[in-house]
Structure 1
Amino acid sequence: MRTGILRAVAAAVVACSALVTTSCAGDTADAAGVALGTPQSDFYAPPAEAVPGRHGSVIRTRALTGVPTVRGASNHLVLYRSVDARNTPVAVSGTLAVPAGAPPEGGWPLVVWGPGTSGVADDCAPSRTGGSSPSADDQARWVAAGYAVAKTDYQGLGTPGPHGYLIGDTEQRAMADLATAAREVDASVGTRWVAMGHSQGGHAALFAAGAAAAWTPESPLLGAVALAPVSHIGEQVRMAKWTVGNPLGKLGAGDIGSFVPLLVRGAQTVTELDPGRFLTGRAVELLPSADTECAAALRDSSRWGGLSPREVFTSDGDLSELLRVLDDNDPSGVRFTVPVLVLQGRDDLTVPLTSTDAMVAEQQLRGQTVDYRKFDDTDHSAIIGASFTDALGWVDTRFGITR
């Protein structure tokens, strides 16, 4: 009964919100440096026999050079093992920045970042493009504060296989397995870590707070920091679908069009979803563009960004299976096993304050403790810089660091 009430309240609160804009013989360390942004198909696509093995172990690694590597650190491109939603071993890529100098006792404390939305096509992987929040400058602030920083590309983003966009369990596995792999890449990295992410990455960090401790017990998770985390996507899709058959359709529809293909591709990693059951012919025709183009291109007016909800969803379409997946992956219902900090800008139009307010309220009504901090005059992108001091103090406390 309480769950039903909470979901009804959340639907009312977020109805007008916008969607996110945002062990094998092959184990080797390749000494050749590679510039970030350079296509490295051979690196990202290992031989099939190299992929099975202990999740969190390293397949291979290379030194990273050039811009935008993280200043003040040694930079590594990492290919490591994880397990997808269908329990199949997969290779995942990411980066690792380790501070210069001697590490503290116990090794460098580690922050594992979940990046914001970049797309689902392999070319959109942050380690290939250097893009997607957090930036190299954002990471450099943590390195300067004495933290090693790892940033995952998530499963299937850059590497073979589909990317489970906003599928919480595979996101958190990618983060937790990178925390374990980081120590194999550089022995000066400690075992303890904090999950941190922005937008899609905030969503991932919240799922890590619920499951990572059990997934990688050899790598103790101390807490999770979620900046402008995505939530209530199911409610936003319901509202967009409602507008299709309503004369007031443009009211409260939200900027959903360009994210529908990402949501569909994500859902297809966990269920046999037929988009022809609810998408218009035009939308079905455009769907493959998600497999080759990144989020910015999909938002173009000639692509998904130019479609209204009526041009995306059919009036009699069956959205039930997609909505089931989206609801199952709403972080509002995650049971946390570690402390959580949520940071939100009041002027965020991408992941609006009302959405995060509703998410935290649901978590607190379930008896969970969430440290929730809001920032004035701060939008979606600015929250990373605006909240740095708060985030650093909170993370320092988790590691027992005093300054």
Structure 2
Amino acid sequence: MRTRGTARRTRVPVAITAVVLSAVAVAGPAAADDTAPAGLAFYTPSADLVAGEHGSVIWMRPIDGDPALPGARNWLVLYRSVDMQGQPVAVSGTVAVPDGTPPAGGWPLISWAHGTTGVADVCAPSRDTGTDFPAHDYTSLVRETQARFVAAGYAVAQTDYQGLGTPGDHGYLIGEAEQRAIADMALAAREVAPEIGTRWAAVGHSQGGQGAIFTAALAQQWAPRLQLLGAVAEAPASHIGLIAQVGPLAAAAQVDVLPKASNAFLPLIIRGAQTVADIDPARFLTPLGQDLLPQAGDRCIAQLREPDSWGGQGAGDLFRADADPSALTAVLNANDPSGLTFTPPVLVVQGTADTTVPATGTDAMVAQQRLAGQPVEYRTYAGIDHRGILAASYSEAQAWLDARFGQ
């Protein structure tokens, strides 16, 4: 069940921040600069450049090769958003616009929300310039799907999310923070390439699938200048609070209910929750778990799965038998997409062989949404795992989006 107190804390700033940012924007944002700093300096603008209207561009630079998409003009972009404390922040991302002449009304836009890479700056997908990138096996697979959308006539923008690659902490699985980054990426994309139209859709996988559903619920209010036509959620994270509840129970019973590799998500979840609430890991983690927690600051998900990290530990190694994860569970329950209400239609796709986001959880999420009368469609794919859903669902996802855009 959703914890209403935490939900209010994480969602009220939408209205408040709109007022604050309108005041900040009176002076007008700094002009977009296509001669942005080279290298990693791109990601760390001075504070005076960050203040401005959310969704406006700080600077940008053309890119080719990874992480660019083929058949498109590509830019690395730094744009403005608002964190959960109502403060302006810089967010990085990429924009790909198909080669050729745009259709009437401009290129239809997909704002893509990526799955888990980590919370360390080094894990930001826009920093993937080759096989040395620690999450290249995932981000390169995502780009294959994105390239198919470009070939089908869609502009594709992808946010890194707040605090991933840029200063500040990444609000991992904090739905409202994710949707702000996703919607503001769509706004920024139109500033980068005015030939992109005002109609857009959110598409997300895993962490991004959860973010896509939050986008369907909140983005039209956040970015009213654009028309959100729908969202596609691929293997979306849901029922996240169970992770914080099952771990201590398993530790107390001296059994491992979840695969050890699943423990790699725990430090990311804790770090994300700490961006919106006072979470003390000592209340539920063992001394070993507390010692391992800083690894989230410099390792990506694959490295956190290694035997010398979270992936090598059982529940009893990480969770205190007398654990009190209630504060963490409250934040996670408040960010479960199952109870959201939304007007734009949502397509959920899920592989039945997914062990990262089990189909039973997605089944339950969709059932709750349908009982509440939400406009959600659900399609499952037999034998398809977590990453395989990207390719397996592509044709149906494109057809569904084409119908939304009238193509």
* CA deviation vs aligned residue, 1:176-199 (integer Å, no higher than 9, x gap): 001011110011111110000011
2:325 is aligned to: 319
Q: In 2, Cα distance between the equivalents of 1:117 and 1:302?
A: 20
Q: In 1, Cα distance between the equivalents of 2:120 and 2:99?
A: 34
Q: In 1, Cα distance between the equivalents of 2:390 and 2:262?
A: 24
Q: Is the 8 A contact 1:240 1:256 kept in 2?
A: no
Q: Is the 8 A contact 1:72 1:144 kept in 2?
A: yes
Q: CA deviation at 1:27?
A: 2.7
Q: In 1, Cα distance between the equivalents of 2:67 and 2:158?
A: 13
Instruction: Sort the Cα spacing of 1:54 and 1:332 in 2 relative to 1 into closer, same or farther, 3 A.
Output: same
Q: CA deviation at 1:26?
A: 4.2
* CA deviation vs aligned residue, 1:223-260 (integer Å, no higher than 9, x gap): 0000000111111321121111115x224577432111
Q: CA deviation at 1:87?
A: 0.8
Q: Is the 8 A contact 1:243 1:253 kept in 2?
A: no
**SS state of the match for residue 135, structure 1?**
helix
* CA deviation vs aligned residue, 1:270-301 (integer Å, no higher than 9, x gap): 01111111111011111111011111111101
Taking structure 2 as the reference length, the TM-score comes to: 0.89
**SS state of the match for residue 402, structure 2?**
helix
1:64 aligned partner, one-letter code: I
Q: In 2, Cα distance between the equivalents of 1:64 and 1:33?
A: 13
1:37 is aligned to: none
1:141 is aligned to: 148
1:286 aligned partner, one-letter code: L
Matched, 1:270 2:269: no
How much identity, in percent, do the aligned residues show? Answer: 53
Q: Is the 8 A contact 1:195 1:224 kept in 2?
A: yes
2:233 is aligned to: 226
Q: In 2, Cα distance between the equivalents of 1:67 and 1:158?
A: 16
**SS state of the match for residue 379, structure 2?**
strand
State which drifts further: 236-245 or 289-298. Answer: 236-245
Instruction: Sort the Cα spacing of 1:333 and 1:164 in 2 relative to 1 into closer, same or farther, 3 A.
Output: same
1:112 aligned partner, one-letter code: S
1:28 is aligned to: 32
Q: In 2, Cα distance between the equivalents of 1:379 and 1:187?
A: 38
* CA deviation vs aligned residue, 1:23-62 (integer Å, no higher than 9, x gap): 667433224797xxxxx32110000110111100000000
* CA deviation vs aligned residue, 1:325-376 (integer Å, no higher than 9, x gap): 0000001111112100001111111111111111111111222231000112
1:212 is aligned to: 219
Structure with the largest fraction of helix: 2
2:368 is aligned to: 362
1:79 is aligned to: 78
Across the two proteins, how many residue pairs are aligned to each other? 376
1:317 aligned partner, one-letter code: A
Counterpart selection for 1:296 from 297, 302, 306: 302
1:379 aligned partner, one-letter code: D
**SS state of the match for residue 248, structure 2?**
helix
1:20 is aligned to: none
Root-mean-square deviation over aligned CA pairs: 1.8
Q: Which runs of 4+ in 1 moved over 6 A?
A: none
Q: CA deviation at 1:67?
A: 3.1
Matched, 1:385 2:355: no
Instruction: Sort the Cα spacing of 1:155 and 1:181 in 2 relative to 1 into closer, same or farther, 3 A.
Output: same
Q: Is the 8 A contact 2:29 2:56 kept in 1?
A: no
Q: Is the 8 A contact 1:111 1:194 kept in 2?
A: yes
State which drifts further: 64-73 or 279-288. Answer: 64-73
Q: CA deviation at 1:311?
A: 1.0
Q: Is the 8 A contact 1:75 1:98 kept in 2?
A: yes
1:363 aligned partner, one-letter code: Q
**SS state of the match for residue 272, structure 2?**
helix
Aligned pairs (5 A) from 1:136-175: 136-175=143-182
Q: Give unmatched runs, 5+ long, in structure 2.
A: 4-24, 130-135
* CA deviation vs aligned residue, 1:144-185 (integer Å, no higher than 9, x gap): 100000011000000000000000000000000010111100
Q: Is the 8 A contact 1:114 1:175 kept in 2?
A: yes
Q: CA deviation at 1:113?
A: 0.4
1:28 aligned partner, one-letter code: A
Counterpart selection for 1:203 from 210, 215, 223: 210
Q: CA deviation at 1:68?
A: 4.1
Q: Is the 8 A contact 1:211 1:337 kept in 2?
A: no
Q: Give unmatched runs, 5+ long, in structure 1.
A: 5-22, 35-39
